[in-house]
């Protein structure tokens, strides 16, 4: 993982993931969440990014940086509510993301010494997913 910060898009995997969002839309997001929901060991960068997009569509918010400009454009242009069916999957995917056994992201952040900061980022995304509107 090439990372320069703990933010959702502060790593190469998540930043690269954003480039498929415009073309792939909700199906692309769903496929990315499935990476965590299939069971077994998984990377996690795309999972967190996909969950963040669902959270942005649901409740707004999220980091603002050059690394997520594709996400901001997608969310601003999005119409419809078909993303709502992904909320439960996004929450479950985040729960798996913070599983020390199966999540490569968890393990890498633990090794880096920045696990608590990264967990706070994941918790913020989950808060936006579960926020009562």
Cα–Cα dist 12/65, whole Å? 14
**For residue 85, how many other CB atoms are within 10 A of its CB?**
11
30-87 pLDDT, tens digit each: 999 999 999 999 999 999 999 999 999 999 999 998 899 999 999 999 999 999 999 9
Please tell me the number of Cα atoms within 13 Å of 133 on its side-chain side: 10
50-62 pLDDT, tens digit each: 999 999 999 999 9
pTM, full prediction: 0.95
**106 within 8 A of 97, measured Cβ to Cβ:** yes
């Amino acid at each position: 993982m090439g990372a320069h910060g703990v933010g959702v898009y502060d790593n190469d995997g998540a930043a690269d993931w954003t480039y498929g969002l415009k073309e792939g839309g909700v199906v692309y997001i769903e496929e990315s969440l499935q990476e965590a929901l299939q069971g077994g060991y998984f990377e996690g960068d795309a999972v967190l990014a996909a969950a963040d997009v669902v959270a942005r569509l649901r409740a707004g918010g999220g980091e603002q940086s050059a690394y997520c400009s594709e996400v901001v454009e997608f969310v601003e242009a999005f119409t419809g509510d078909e993303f709502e069916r992904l909320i439960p999957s996004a929450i479950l995917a985040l729960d798996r993301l913070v599983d020390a056994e199966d999540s490569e992201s968890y393990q890498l952040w633990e090794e880096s010494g920045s696990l608590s900061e990264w967990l706070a980022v994941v918790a913020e995304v989950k808060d936006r997913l579960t926020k009562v509107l």
